[in-house]
Structure 1
Amino acid sequence: MKKYTGCREIVCPGVTRFETQFLQLQAIVQQKQGLRNMFNFEEFRRSKFGRDKNGLAFEARQIVIGNDFWSKANDILKVFEPLVKVLRPVDGDEKPTMGFIYEAIDRAKQSIQKSSRYYSQYQEIIDKRWRFMHSDLHSAGMSL
């Protein structure tokens, strides 16, 4: 696979599990053409995996050469990138983030609204999670 992705890694560890998943999907999308080339190359098609029409490699090939996966992956990245930007400072120890989190969440929601056609569905999920995590202590922290 590295032959077709320019020796670039697709597995990209992040600080958090959430960020790791985002970075991995981002790396896969960045390697779209290389991955498509890998499955269309004669070497793969002649291999036992390329000839087996019932195996996982055939299923993976169908996903990679199709457009549906790539469209959905791009939609997911448009939603999660602003959320990753919110979570990075929260996970860090550099400065207190409670006072900044409210504004960061609002900016993330605005960014998602501009870039995603599924904003209303994601907004509901984000708001539900925000209500679950919100407390009077958080409000007091924001005031400080």
Structure 2
Amino acid sequence: MNKQNIFEGKRYEVLNLGGSIDKESDVGKKLLDIKAKGSQLLLEISECKQTLEQESNITARFPAAVQEMDIKSLEEEYKGLQGDGAGEAEYFQSLEEQIIKMKGVSDPIKCCCGLEYNVELGGESMGVR
């Protein structure tokens, strides 16, 4: 048995042979899926446009010298700054090691009155002997 149905202004022929899947519902589902995917794409495009606009607003606030630099120069500058950061971390670590070594330094000092003091760096203790 052949049927003709109109779905959103288009004709689709449906052949039902004793319990087979109705092709019309499959076509309708596919059409709805396509519309949903199209809407999702439009939403993503809109979000991308907003992001690009925000990024261009951010870069517009950069100093003129930075805006005029090419990508290679900016990458080199960025790598240099990263290297400076690594150098600073290394410097602070060496300072910390020196401080730890200095905390272990102690010297006995004899006062003219005859008392002997043990002076330790780090301010933690100063004892009288």
For the criterion TM > 0.5, the same-fold answer is no
TM-score (norm 1): 0.24
Which structure has more strand as a fraction of its residues?
2
TM-score (norm 2): 0.26
Which structure has more helix as a fraction of its residues?
1
**Of the two structures, which has the highest relative contact order with CA contacts closer than 8 Å and spacing of 6 or more?**
1
Larger Rg: 2
